[in-house]
């Protein structure tokens, strides 16, 4: 299939292979935003797209997930997509692979915020990032409605999550475990804040535990809502939001069966945590 390059000079070509055929997608860029998209046959699609050419060109891969990994089992699923354990066919290590399907070009940059944030972080209490890439899953690139791309994020595979451990404890409290785990979580979020990032979704579901020599090491993960810390009137975009969430996590460690509202009411009634 032939394609015609747009007349503009500031264009970047992306080549996608699908079904044994090669397709070309032309992106006309302006000020780090895609201003024009043309598909094979010269079809034009206008709009402001928050997807940078550098981002796509550095992350698009002709090596498919299926060729590189042996998928093992689903670890979780949500509106964002799914997370799987998968063994790399070459290094034989097992990783967590997050798969996010995007149907709009303008969402690519937004989704890749998570990968970009993880790539900046290297700390024993943060889930380790390895790689990310884009694969096409369109049957026909001559139809842009919808665009179907899958973004893959390859991460460290942890033993379990804090939420699952607390559920297995069935309400039993382990003070020494709680202190060690919470100390590690604080170290992790302190490091994230030093990097001028706000997690915005800190909870026991998103705190993972890596078992090393019979001890659990907490690791903060799931940076899907991460934002750069900025002076703003939106509390959700400030580190104070993460600090509040730390308090909720601490509550879950010591009072897993009580909601935060119930706990505050009991403290107000009793006047002392020791009576609860």
CA distance 112 to 11: 21
* pLDDT of res. 257: 66
Residue 163 pLDDT > 80, yes or no? Answer: yes
Q: Which carries the bigger pLDDT value, residue 32 or residue 66? A: 66
The token pair at 197 is: 């990032």
Cβ atoms of 151 and 132 closer than 8 Å = yes
- pLDDT beyond 70 at 238: yes
- Pick the more confident residue, 273 or 84: 84
Alpha-carbon torsion, ordered 82, 182, 197, 237, to 10 deg:
90
Peptide bond into 146 cis (omega under 30): yes
In the set 91, 143, 174, 201, the catalytic residue is 201
Q: What is the pLDDT of residues 40-53, one digit of tens each?
A: 454 444 433 333 34
CB distance 127 to 75 below 8 Å:
no
Predicted TM-score of the model (pTM): 0.72
**For residue 29, what is the enclosing H or E element?**
strand 21-30
Q: Cβ(99)–Cβ(82) under 8 Å?
A: yes
Q: Is 201 a catalytic residue?
A: yes
* pLDDT band at residue 179 under the 50/70/90 scheme: very high
Dist. CA 186–CA 241, nearest whole Å: 14
d(CA 149, CA 135): 6
Reply yes or no on whether the pLDDT at 265 is more than 90. Answer: no
Tokens of 145: 């409605």
Q: Rounded CA gap, 7 and 127, in Å?
A: 45
Rounded to 5 degrees, what angle do the CA atoms 161, 163, 166 make?
115
Asked if 71 and 84 count as a contact pair (C-beta separation under 8 A), the reply is: yes
What pairs with residue 36 in β-bridges?
28, 46
What confidence score (pLDDT) does residue 101 get? Answer: 81
At 142 the pLDDT is 41
Q: Which domains does the chain have, with CATH numbers?
A: 53-156 (3.30.200.20), 160-270 (1.10.510.10)
The DSSP bridge pattern shows strands 33-39 and 43-49 to be antiparallel
Q: Which residue matches tokens 């390059």?
A: 5
* Torsional class of 267: left (φ above 0), alpha (ψ -120 to 50), beta (otherwise): alpha
**CA 19 – CA 136 distance, rounded (Å):** 11
């Amino acid at each position: 299939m032939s394609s015609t390059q747009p007349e503009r000079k500031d264009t970047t070509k992306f080549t996608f292979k699908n079904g044994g055929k090669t397709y070309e997608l032309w992106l006309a860029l302006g000020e780090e935003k895609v201003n024009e998209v043309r598909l094979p046959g010269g079809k034009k699609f206008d709009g402001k797209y928050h997807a940078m050419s550098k981002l796509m060109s550095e992350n698009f891969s002709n090596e498919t997930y299926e060729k590189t990994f042996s998928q093992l089992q689903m670890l979780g699923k949500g509106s964002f997509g799914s997370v799987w354990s998968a063994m790399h066919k070459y290094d034989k290590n097992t990783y967590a692979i997050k798969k996010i399907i995007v149907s709009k070009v303008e969402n690519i940059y937004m989704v890749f915020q998570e990968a970009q944030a993880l790539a900046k972080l290297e700390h024993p209490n943060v889930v380790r990032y390895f790689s990310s890439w884009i694969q096409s899953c369109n049957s026909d690139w001559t139809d842009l409605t919808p665009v179907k791309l899958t973004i893959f994020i390859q991460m460290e595979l942890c033993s379990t999550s804090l939420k699952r451990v607390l559920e297995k404890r069935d309400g039993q409290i382990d003070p020494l475990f709680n202190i060690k785990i919470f100390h590690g979580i604080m170290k992790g979020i302190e490091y994230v804040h030093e990097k001028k990032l706000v997690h915005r979704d800190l909870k026991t579901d998103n705190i993972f535990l890596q078992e090393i020599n019979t001890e659990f090491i907490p690791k903060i993960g799931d940076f899907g809502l991460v934002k750069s810390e900025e002076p703003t009137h939106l509390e959700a975009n400030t580190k104070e939001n993460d600090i509040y969430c730390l308090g909720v996590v601490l509550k879950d460690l010591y009072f897993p069966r009580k909601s935060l509202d119930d706990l505050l009411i009991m403290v107000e009634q009793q006047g002392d945590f020791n009576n609860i």
